[in-house]
Amino acid sequence: MIQEVISATKLIDFEGVSKTYQLGNQRIPALKGIDLTIESGDFIAIAGPSGSGKSTLLNLLALIDTPTSGDIRYNNIDVSTLSDDERTRYRNKEIGIVFQNYNLIPVLDALENVAFALQVQGVPTKECLKRAEKILREVGLGTHLHHRPANLSGGQKQRVAIARALVTNPSVVIADEPTAALDSKTGMEILELMKELNYTKNTTFIFSTHDNRIIDSVHHVVYIEDGFLMNRY
Amino acid sequence: MNYLQFAYRNILRHRRRSFVTIMTVCLGFVALGVLGGFLNNIFSRLKGQAVVAERFGHLTFAKKGFYQNGKLEPEKYLWNAKELETLLAVVRQNIDVELATPRLRMFGVTSNGKASTIFVTEAIVPEDDQKLIKTNVDGRSGIEGMVTFGARNRDNSSVIVGSELASMLKIKKGQNVTLLTSTKDGVANAVDVKISGDYNTGNPATNDKFILSDFSLAQNLYDTDGAERVIVTLKNPENIEIVKAQLIEELADAGLQVEAKTWDELSPSYKKVTTLFGIIFRVLTIIISVIVLLTVLNTMQMVVSERTKEIGTMRAIGMLRGQVIKLFCVEGLIMGVLGCLLAIPILFAIAGLLQVMGISFVPPVASVAVPLVMMFKIKNLLLVFALFSVVAIVSSFLVSRKIAAQQIVDSLSRG
Ligand SMILES: Nc1ncnc2c1ncn2[C@@H]1O[C@H](COP(=O)(O)OP(=O)(O)OP(=O)(O)O)[C@@H](O)[C@H]1O
Ligand SMILES: [Mg+2]
């Protein structure tokens, strides 16, 4: 593992993190003693063969799953000490999540989907909508504010999802194969958008991918194989 | 976008399922509303029979111990003239009192010359009784076919008999019967009286022996210048318990130890019918509530399992467990409330239809037919409304609590 630029601050710290799934009486080790440090402002691709543990790692990073053993620290907070509500609030404020299949709420239009992430915080509706609209314009969907997910293309849906992840101004966006459901051209556009947002907002991005073109165009790639962190460059 | 809007859109999402749920709540409400409406009407009619036809008024005041030992030692439990005067004066002073009138009750055998049968006579003051039969019962003043003595040119030896008694003895208006009874001291006494009318008391237990007689005639027959009881009607019968307590105290201050009974305590048939129907109604309420509970539970179970991934997403984005539960409870509540709201026009339509059709029937433990109409009480409808709302919330809560507690990754990996 190589040392990062000195100026960056430590955002996430994994220490000996393991995750073992229990399937009936079968134990499936998905992650094995991961040590990982992620710095604020990073743009990191996680690569590895299918079943290597990428999604498992990202779920732990996104605080939507808990490790079997090991420590996860966010901004030096041991997240295992947080209650479910505290963890949820932390996730809402600090972590944006983008899913492979967009996971937009079908009964809400683009604007409402984005505003939702603020509304659960109790931000007044007017302000939620204002901020949601601003971010949707930034991701290039200013003309589709009132389209419901069913009336948006895959690329547009993923833009809405990215806007939803960013509207709370999180420190990090975590995306599990955000381009996998898109054609390669649209996938590259989404990648460019993420790069741009990383650059302009200094938001940390961590995402997994199978796409070699994407891996080649990203500076930091973390390889994972069979639950082990192989190397990082 | 608030919870209500969000929940409402979600309900529209599963249109048919939501519709079935709403209709189940609606039909449950209509069923309870119709039954409740009938019962209110029956109870109210029976109340009219007790208060007016059986002449119980609202409150009855007797000497303390009268209901225990009055039959054995009638003399001891009679108010003498002076006591009666005080009693009436005190009671009539109370602003809630509409009417106070003395009564005597005697038992005996009546004969048409060929056959005889037992009778009970309630001795009434004609002028007072004319007011009493107009007592307002749940908005209706007066009962159809009710008769009393005319005010003028009245002969105090005329009587009005129960319709069943009249038909048993085959006696008609204008004919004479003999009343064999005894004085307060147990000395036999008899008088010939003229039938001036008959009416149905509404209660089969009394309709075959009831005779209304003149208070002054009864005083003579009983050999007293006092009375046994004083019957009181109130301007506002809602206050009956308060006024009762007040009057007992005021009478005690005036030196009279009284025992007071409300009309429903004195009418055992009213108690029986209301108790029986009350139980039936309660059981039905429970059954229907359980049906509503199971329906909403089932609907919510389907909704939640279809939307598990969405719930996982909302939780991942930052929705708290409590907020997820709240969302589903609001969805359940909206369906419950819509069902109840939809039921109200249906109920009134049924009520209107029955009014127009004009069906009537004889309730059990009654001898007079009552119209089959519905009488709604806003308070009862609101109670059912509240009950169903709570049931809808509880079933939504039970279902959503489980899903909200699930690991987010597990919810997300579904569907
Ligand atoms: N819920 C689960 N229960 C049991 N085993 C699981 C579960 N989720 C993942 N696994 C197992 O854990 C290992 C790692 O899975 P993971 O999904 O993290 O891999 P991945 O790198 O994301 O693969 P892919 O590229 O196919 O998405 C695999 O062997 C997988 O079968
Ligand atoms: Mg995966």
Summarize pLDDT for A183-205 with one digit per residue, the tens.
989 999 999 999 999 999 999 99
Is B317 in CB contact (< 8 Å) with chain A? yes
Most ligand 1 atoms within 8 A of CB, residue of A22, A28, A101 to mutate: A28
Whole-number pLDDT of residue B151: 66
Token code pair at residue B112: 């048409």
Q: Quick one: average pLDDT of B101-119?
A: 93
CA–CA distance, B351 with B347 (Å, rounded to integer): 6
A52 lines ligand 1 (CB under 6 A): yes
Ligand 2 geometric centre to CA of A91 (Å): 20
Confidence at A233, pLDDT banded by 50, 70, 90: low
Ligand 2 geometric centre to CA of A82 (Å): 26
Is A54 in CB contact (< 8 Å) with chain B? no
Q: B404 and B319 in one domain?
A: yes
CA–CA distance, B415 with B412 (Å, rounded to integer): 8
Is B383 in CB contact (< 8 Å) with chain A? no
Whole-number pLDDT of residue B269: 81
Measure in Å the smallest separation between the Cα of A224 and chain B Cα atoms.
Answer: 20
For A112, nearest residue in chain B (alpha carbons): B1
| Ligand in nearest proximity to the CA of A56 | 1
* Long-range CB contacts (within 8 A, 24+) of B78-85: B78/B184, B78/B224, B78/B226, B78/B227, B78/B228, B79/B226, B79/B227, B79/B228, B79/B230, B80/B224, B80/B225, B80/B226, B81/B225, B81/B226, B83/B226, B83/B256, B84/B226, B84/B227, B84/B230
Whole-number pLDDT of residue A8: 60
In angstroms and rounded to an integer, the radius of gyration of the C-alpha atoms of chain A is 17
Range of the domain at B108: 55-266
Token code pair at residue B21: 């749920």
A28 lines ligand 1 (CB under 6 A): yes
Cα-based torsion angle of the residue sequence B286, B288, B289, B293 in order, rounded to the nearest 10 degrees: 130
Query: Does B365 have pLDDT greater than 50?
Result: yes
Q: Strand, coil or helix: what is A89?
A: helix
Q: B245 and B373 in one domain?
A: no
Mean pLDDT (chain B) is 92
Whole-number pLDDT of residue B118: 95
Q: B59 and B45 in one domain?
A: no
Query: Does B153 have pLDDT greater than 60?
Result: no
Amino acid at B398: L
Q: Quick one: average pLDDT of A155-162?
A: 96
Q: Where are the domains of chain A?
A: 42-63+84-232
Confidence at B6, pLDDT banded by 50, 70, 90: very high
Query: Does A1 have pLDDT greater than 70?
Result: no
Supply the residue whose CA is at minimum distance from atom 5 of ligand 1: A21
Question: Was domain A42-63+84-232 assigned CATH 3.40.50.300?
Answer: yes
pLDDT digits (tens, 9 = 90+) for A34-51: 999 999 999 999 999 999
In angstroms and rounded to an integer, the radius of gyration of the C-alpha atoms of chain B is 30
Whole-number pLDDT of residue B415: 65
DSSP state of A53: S
CA–CA distance, B385 with B32 (Å, rounded to integer): 11
Count of residues for chain A? Answer: 233
Q: Quick one: average pLDDT of B290-297?
A: 94
Confidence at A3, pLDDT banded by 50, 70, 90: very low
Measure in Å the smallest separation between the Cα of B9 and chain A Cα atoms.
Answer: 6
Q: Quick one: average pLDDT of B57-75?
A: 90
Taking a 5 Å cut-off on Cβ, the residues next to ion ligand 2 are: A 55
Picking from A109, A119, A121, A157 by the largest number of B CB atoms within 10 A of its own CB, the best residue to mutate is A119
Whole-number pLDDT of residue A232: 64
Which ligand 1 atom is nearest residue A23's CA?
Answer: 4
B142/B330: higher pLDDT:
B330
Query: Does B379 have pLDDT greater than 70?
Result: yes
Query: Does A6 have pLDDT greater than 80?
Result: no
Measure in Å the smallest separation between the Cα of B371 and chain A Cα atoms.
Answer: 51
- Which among B266, B287, B310 is the end of a domain? B266
Contact B181, B107 (CB under 8 A): yes
Whole-number pLDDT of residue B240: 94
CA–CA distance, A6 with B396 (Å, rounded to integer): 53
Q: Quick one: average pLDDT of A215-230?
A: 90
Whole-number pLDDT of residue A231: 72
DSSP state of A219: S
Whole-number pLDDT of residue B358: 86
Q: B135 and B7 in one domain?
A: no
Contact list, B320 vs chain A (CB under 8 Å): 85, 88-89, 120
Q: Quick one: average pLDDT of B381-389?
A: 96
Is A90 in CB contact (< 8 Å) with chain B? no
Contact list, A59 vs chain B (CB under 8 Å): 409
Contact list, A112 vs chain B (CB under 8 Å): 1
Residue whose structure tokens are 């709302």: B389
**Does the interface ipTM go beyond 0.90?**
yes
CB-nearest partner of A120 from B12, B323, B412: B323
Least confident of A139-143, A212-216, B202-206, B247-251: B202-206
A94/A9: higher pLDDT:
A94
Query: Does A139 have pLDDT greater than 80?
Result: yes
Q: B41 and B62 in one domain?
A: no
Supply the residue whose CA is at minimum distance from atom 25 of ligand 1: A50
> Is A92 in contact with B321 (Cβ distance < 8 A)?
no
Indicate the number of domains in chain B.
Answer: 2
CB-nearest partner of B317 from A65, A66, A116: A116
Secondary structure in 3-state letters for chain B? CCHHHHHHHHHHHCHHHHHHHHHHHHHHHHHHHHHHHHHHHHHHHHHHHHHHHCCCCCEEEEECCHHHHCCCCHHHHCECHHHHHHHHHHHHHCCCEEEEEEEEEEEEEEECCCCEEEEEEEEECHHHHHHHCCCEECCEECCCCCCCCCCCCCCCCEEEEEHHHHHHCCCCCCCEEEEEEECCCCCEEEEEEEEEEEECCCCHHHHCCEEEEEHHHHHHHHCCCCECEEEEEECCHHHHHHHHHHHHHHHHHCCCCEEEEEHHHHCHHHHHHHHHHHHHHHHHHHHHHHHHHHHHHHHHHHHHHHCHHHHHHHHHHCCCHHHHHHHHHHHHHHHHHHHHHHHHHHHHHHHHHHHHHCCEECCCCCCCCEECCCCCCHHHHHHHHHHHHHHHHHHHHHHHHHHHHCCHHHHHCCC
- Which among B227, B245, B266 is the end of a domain? B266
Is A163 in CB contact (< 8 Å) with chain B? no
Is B261 in CB contact (< 8 Å) with chain A? no
Task: Note which residues in 173-232 of chain A have CB less than 8 A from chain B.
Answer: none
Count how many pairs of residues, chain A against chain B, have C-beta atoms within 8 Å: 69
CA–CA distance, A97 with A107 (Å, rounded to integer): 20
Whole-number pLDDT of residue B152: 59
Ligand 2 geometric centre to CA of A160 (Å): 21
pLDDT digits (tens, 9 = 90+) for B304-316: 999 999 999 999 9
> Is B1 in contact with A168 (Cβ distance < 8 A)?
no
Ligand 2 geometric centre to CA of A211 (Å): 13
Measure in Å the smallest separation between the Cα of B328 and chain A Cα atoms.
Answer: 15
Whole-number pLDDT of residue B113: 87
Burial track A194-228 (b if 16+ CB lie within 10 A, e otherwise)? beebbeeeebbbbbbbebeebeeebebbbbbeebe
Residues contacting A35, CB < 8 A, separation 6+: A1, A14, A15, A16, A17, A229
Contact list, A126 vs chain B (CB under 8 Å): none
A213/A98: higher pLDDT:
A98
For B410, nearest residue in chain A (alpha carbons): A65
Query: Does B124 have pLDDT greater than 90?
Result: yes
pLDDT digits (tens, 9 = 90+) for B317-358: 999 999 999 999 999 999 999 999 999 999 999 999 998 998
Contact B127, B151 (CB under 8 A): yes
Contact list, B310 vs chain A (CB under 8 Å): 103, 105-106
CA–CA distance, A156 with A33 (Å, rounded to integer): 38
Q: Strand, coil or helix: what is A113?
A: helix
* Long-range CB contacts (within 8 A, 24+) of B241-247: B243/B59, B243/B94, B243/B96, B243/B97, B244/B59, B246/B94, B246/B96, B247/B59, B247/B61, B247/B90, B247/B91, B247/B94, B247/B97
- Which among B244, B266, B288 is the end of a domain? B266
